[in-house]
Structure 1
Amino acid sequence: MSQRPDFEVFVAADGAFAAFEEAVLDAQTSITGGFRIFDMSTPLLSDTARAVGETWFDLLVHVLRRGVRMDLAVSDFDPVYATELHQQAWATVKQGAALVETAGVPATQVRVRALLHPATPGMAPWLAFLPASLRKKRARHAALSRDALAEAPGLSRNLPDLHPVTHHQKLAVIDDDTLYIGGLDLNERRFDTPDHDRPAAQTWSDVQVIVRNDPAVAEAKAHIETFDDVVRGNTPPPPVQRLRRTLSADRRFKLPFLSPRTLVSEIETLHRDAFTQARHLIYIETQFMRSQPMAEALAEAAQARPDLTLILILPALPEPAAFDADDDIGFETRYGMGLERDALRTLRDGFGDRATIASPVQPVLAARETRATLAGSPIIYVHNKVLVQDADRAFVGSANMNGRSLHWDTEAGLLVDSPARVGTLRSALFHHWWRADIARDWTDPAQMQPLWQAEIWRNDVRNPDTRRGFLVSHDARLHEAKGQSLPLATDDMV
């Protein structure tokens, strides 16, 4: 095995996927993974991996033939409301069976599971949703061929269940010494480069880290091996020091409830502690800022400490609102936009001019104005999930700033508190957004927010090819126009 750093940060899939490929190629004994999506037909990127094949399937066959064991858990999804994702999960299971046959290894050497979170709603919400569920199920059956229906086994139930909770984590452990963790699933949709020089709908900013020779590696492996039993109530969550998780289970008494019972909310606790302890700066990159309790906690911290500043980077719009037709933007997306509208108002009220809220765009002029443009340029879609408290502590994982990630879905992330590692992470993040090294005061938690804000304002009025970096001001007007309130809905749904 070649010598590699103990901590690496990747801010797009090209580097992350290549490093993951090489870590798997180095495997001597085992690969243990838990992902929302893991498509083995994803093309390989690194030269060393491409020497053994074209796709992840080829890479895994090569490694399995050396005797490496593989245990992969992917998320299954509600077959009626998330049919394509349900089909993808079972396609991965079939890929796992094909691995065994192609590699010529014992079936006991490979385990690939599609795991459906066991939490289901109580009778009252199930009955309330039943007419819509039956209509959607009939529409799915009418739209799918017989072969496609066979690839969605959950659609065969006469009365559809509701499965509102998923496993949203993205992590893998190789040989008990390497952990790959963050926000990236494995498929072609997640691919992008740090230049984001692609059509807006194909951009994908994300953050993944690799750690080696760290206690978090063993904690992550124990988590992957036990989380299904934990959420089913068969075993307690294993103790952790460096890993942070969200875990939930079915309610014992659930008649009126749509929501599960939260077992572990370590990610929420980490964020709340950071808000309380930060002296100068809270820095967040997130796909969603929809949690009103988190927004209120941040605003309260701002009121208590007049020197506290906020830099928040998020996409201009959620993915369906940015790239789909109006008729295809579902109520859950509009509801999420309404929650984000309210959370951003709370942050602006709490911080005033001490808050910078920004979104990235490409440094080119858009061919035409659409929802996928901002400041006259194509947007860059942000899927990042990062928190940095001053320059002291950080978190990288799979959880967004929404109630679903903090209370419902299975999530996993890494606490980073080594000064050197926090510095490596901050350098990678800041270099990515500004597309260059920046002056020391631009990275000083006590000084950077007003400096970033001033440059972002300048970017708002510059021609795209003269902007500095990717960031412009986030524009909440579309959230105001398209956001929708659902008075009886729980904020944790989206």
Structure 2
Amino acid sequence: MAGADRKTRDAAEIYLTAAEAYPALEALFLEARSEISAGFRVFDIRTRLRGRGREVGRTWADLIGHTLARGVSFRLILADFDPVVRPSMHRETWRATASLMAAGEASGRPDLLSVIPAMHPARVGLGMRLAFWPKIAAKLRDEARRLNGLEAREAEDQLAHMPGLKPHLAGEHPHLRPKIWPVAPLIPASHHQKLAVFDRERLFIGGIDLNERRYDTPDHDRPGRDTWHDTQLLIEGPAAREAQAHLDTLLSVANARQEPPEMRHLLRTISTRHRHTGRFRLSPKTIEKGLEDAHIARARKARRLIYLETQFFRSLPVARALARAARDIPDLRLLLVLPGAPEDVAYDNAKEGDARYGEYLQAKCVHIVSKAFGDRAFVMAPGQPKHAGHKGRASLEEAPLVYLHAKVAIFDHDAVIISSANLNGRSLRWDTEAGVTLTEADTVQHLRYRCFAHWLPEDAEDAYFTDETAIAAWAALADRNAERDPDDREGFVMRYPVAPARRFGRNLPGLPEELV
């Protein structure tokens, strides 16, 4: 077990990147005795097996079939997505569902498999949908045009896996077109959690989903657009039992059919549909924001060093809480690790309003904490120690960025929060999220060391790990790396480039920050 004591209820096994997490998940499926319950945003059983799972096959389809054939039940809540705004993700959810059901049939025990493609029940009000109708119609036209450009058989197959889109298209291939009425629904939230419970005793939880895109190694020695840094935990005890209760009740809670069960160990974000959808309502009803409250409460208690890794840093309440802590505690320091740019901006050249609004909010949040902490803060973006071969948002000082997806918060040597939630309004107020707080001293210290050491040169000195010297040491390393040829850099430490985010970002007054 990695740096933890199995006898301690708070003990945890810690996995950095899918190269560590995927083999661990395979082993958990092989070791399960009677039941597995899970909730993921993405669960693609075409993903290759990389650990002990290779004893039973080549892909996760083989492992799922083997698990069911052994008599172990598997229940999966799989996130579904707005078919208008995210048609490809909606399609992949239903393809994954069909693949899982086929694996269940092949196992001979389909009765032990339950796959629930779960779209969040909240809906945008009719008045707001009418206001957005030009954008809705444009999205539908784009998807109809794409489908019309496919071969007839391929288009038919794709539409078969898009049950939420089909009712809003008229005509036949290759003459599909948007229906004018009724106005398509818009779904403002999703189930973003990533967790699995094994035999109601062991909990696998954190930020990683299952597919080939998310596979990476701690060396991050891949093309920049293929890198993916994540953190996952395996924990036992009360948190696992509460996670089981969370999964058992989630759909009823989200549909406002019951109150959420009280939790002492599992941190969550949960929202539900409003019982009466107002015409101009845009947001779901937040009923639990334990993850936001925990981050803010721990920030207020911190006295020496806060370390954060997050895909998005867009929550103004969290940024302002950190700023207050900086003003109240003169010795408090902040080490913030962000990807150099959002994935869609870096690799897909996204320029839509939501991408710009997200960058606006992130630049604002970085400014808030940087102004409050001054030289007691360092904001980092990981970059590979090699030439990018290109410029733009996908590079940092001529090196490929390492895409960071982890959600880790470490407060002094006292507590660690690991979850599926980014530090943005969407994760902390709207989407379904789940995480845990670890406070056992050895576990906290081990995780802190691993997170720090992951980005640093192998021979990193104590100054990089010590509360009083870490900020200056990391900043100096980033500056040395920027002056060197990318091939000669040490570790992954670079400065986060806030200026491009500020230039690209655009405020959208009147829209809630939770939208992005």
TM band (smaller chain): over 0.9
User: What are the equivalent positions in structure 2 for 1:87-166 lying under 5 Å apart?
Assistant: 87-105=91-109, 107-144=110-147, 145-158=155-168, 159=182, 160-166=184-190
Per-residue CA deviations over 1:459-491 (Å, capped at 9, x if unaligned) read 222232332210111111211221111012111
Query: Shift of the alpha carbon at 1:173?
Result: 0.8
Query: Shift of the alpha carbon at 1:435?
Result: 4.3
**Structure 1 unaligned residues grouped into runs of 5+:** none
| Amino acid paired to 1:367 | G
1:196 alignment partner in structure 2: 220
CA distance in 2, matches of 1:365, 1:108: 52
Say yes or no: does 1:16 pair with 2:21.
yes
Distance change >3 Å, CA 51–CA 285, structure 1 → 2: same
Give the number of equivalent residue pairs. 487
User: What are the equivalent positions in structure 2 for 1:78-477 lying under 5 Å apart?
Assistant: 78-105=82-109, 107-144=110-147, 145-158=155-168, 159=182, 160-212=184-236, 214-253=237-276, 254-325=278-349, 328-436=350-458, 438-477=460-499
Per-residue CA deviations over 1:15-34 (Å, capped at 9, x if unaligned) read 10011101111111111100
Query: Shift of the alpha carbon at 1:309?
Result: 0.8
SS of residue paired to 2:78: strand
Per-residue CA deviations over 1:73-109 (Å, capped at 9, x if unaligned) read 110000111111101111122122212210011x431
CA distance in 1, matches of 2:321, 2:279: 31
Query: Shift of the alpha carbon at 1:200?
Result: 0.6
Task: State the identity %.
Answer: 40
Query: Shift of the alpha carbon at 1:149?
Result: 1.2
TM-score after normalising by structure 2: 0.92
- Conserved 8 A contact 1:96-1:111: no
CA distance in 2, matches of 1:93, 1:365: 40
1:62 alignment partner in structure 2: 66
Per-residue CA deviations over 1:380-423 (Å, capped at 9, x if unaligned) read 00101010000100101110110000000000011111111111
Query: Shift of the alpha carbon at 1:134?
Result: 2.4
Per-residue CA deviations over 1:241-285 (Å, capped at 9, x if unaligned) read 221000001123433220111100000000110110000111100
| Amino acid paired to 2:36 | I
| Amino acid paired to 1:366 | A
Query: Shift of the alpha carbon at 1:441?
Result: 4.1
| Amino acid paired to 1:30 | E
- The more displaced of 400-409 and 123-132 is 123-132
SS of residue paired to 1:154: coil
Query: Shift of the alpha carbon at 1:300?
Result: 1.2
SS of residue paired to 1:275: helix
CA distance in 2, matches of 1:116, 1:122: 17
Query: Shift of the alpha carbon at 1:437?
Result: 5.9
- Conserved 8 A contact 1:246-1:408: yes
1:32 alignment partner in structure 2: 37
CA distance in 2, matches of 1:416, 1:4: 13
- Conserved 8 A contact 2:256-2:275: no
| Amino acid paired to 1:315 | P
2:81 alignment partner in structure 1: 77
SS of residue paired to 2:340: coil
| Amino acid paired to 2:367 | R
Query: Shift of the alpha carbon at 1:126?
Result: 1.6
Distance change >3 Å, CA 138–CA 463, structure 1 → 2: closer
SS of residue paired to 1:486: coil
TM-score after normalising by structure 1: 0.96
| Amino acid paired to 1:290 | R
- Conserved 8 A contact 2:16-2:231: yes
